[in-house]
Amino acid sequence: MNKGPGLFSDFGKKARDLLTKDYTTDQKFSISSVTDSGVAITSSLVAEGGLSAGDVVAQHKFKNGSLDVKLDTESNILTTLSITDFPSSTKVIASLKLPDYNSGKLEVQYFHQHSGISAAVGLNQSPAVDFSATIGTPAIAFGAETTYATASGEFAKYNAGVSYTNPDSNASVILADKGDSIKVSYLHHLDLLNGGTFGGEISRRFSTNENTLTVGCSYLVDPHTALKAKLNNHGSLGALLQHELRPKSFLTISGAFNTMNMQKNPKFGLALSLKP
């Protein structure tokens, strides 16, 4: 596919990943294997508060695409078919979750050197239609997204933003919630953190005058071990340690604390992912 500005959903993604990815207060275990026919099977089990849930995912990759089938402990079956470059510079994603036959969704993504377009529609009698578009370059891009509810004949969502990216940093400004909130995010790669990153996000909701500032950083202890931490202005502190036991297999230990109310019990999570 052509390298261009990407999709609107990519705006601020690097900062969001720094502040949210791999943080967990659950206990999660997953193991993957590959059959002789090339089908990758992943089994996962998650436990929280005395309750547990699990799922099994089978993925078959073929030329220009993949087919994923997920079965969970609530007897739901999610099937996702992805095809790229059919036609050229496009990606088609079709999904269906059974037994809810109205959950089907079809999405088409188009990538151009100076634009990125995504359109998705639900496969039911009164579908919601999602549409997003970006224009620009890989360095700077402008974009917007909206959701039109055919049942009510109204726009349920419309957001707009701008993103700036260079090899060392990434920044974005997004006006969201029909103009009621604004989010500004920034991420910077630092040699001082041994190849780690530093970033943050500030959001403001105009209707309630509520502000939230979250900052975080990651530090590479060695090629196989990473540390991450984050803190917001409400006193919520999160930290995690992730170690690569072997290629593509990770052990993650994370915790969450409230620095303004030390009497509140801290929460801890443990995730183990084993792949062949």
Taking only the tens place, the pLDDT of each residue in 176-230 is 999 999 999 999 998 776 779 999 999 999 999 999 999 999 999 998 999 999 9
CB-CB contact of 237 with 255 (8 Å): no
Domain count, the chain: 1
Q: Is residue 1 part of a domain?
A: no
| Tens-place pLDDT, residues 10-58 | 999 999 999 999 998 889 999 999 988 889 999 999 997 778 899 999 9
CB count, 10 Å around CB of 192? 8
Q: What angle do CA 45, 47, 50 make, to 5 degrees?
A: 145
Q: Does residue 78 register a pLDDT over 80?
A: yes
Give the pTM.
Answer: 0.90
As a whole number of angstroms, the distance between CA 167 and CA 153 comes to: 43
Q: What is the pLDDT of residue 264?
A: 76
Q: Is residue 93 part of a domain?
A: yes
| Tens-place pLDDT, residues 157-185 | 999 999 999 999 999 999 999 999 999 99
Q: Is residue 76 part of a domain?
A: yes
Q: Give the bridge partners for 41, in sequence order.
A: 33, 58
More confident call, 1 vs 4: 4
Q: What is the pLDDT of residue 2?
A: 54
CB count, 10 Å around CB of 37? 6
Q: Does residue 59 register a pLDDT over 90?
A: yes
Q: Is residue 55 part of a domain?
A: yes
Residue 136 sits in a domain whose CATH number is 2.40.160.10
Q: How confident is the model at residue 86 (pLDDT cuts 50, 70, 90)?
A: confident
As a whole number of angstroms, the distance between CA 264 and CA 192 comes to: 34
Q: Is residue 197 part of a domain?
A: yes
Q: What is the pLDDT of residue 97?
A: 94
Work out the mean pLDDT of the chain and round it to a whole number: 93
As a whole number of angstroms, the distance between CA 69 and CA 134 comes to: 31
Q: Is residue 258 part of a domain?
A: yes
Residues spanned by the domain of 259: 8-274
CB-CB contact of 191 with 210 (8 Å): no
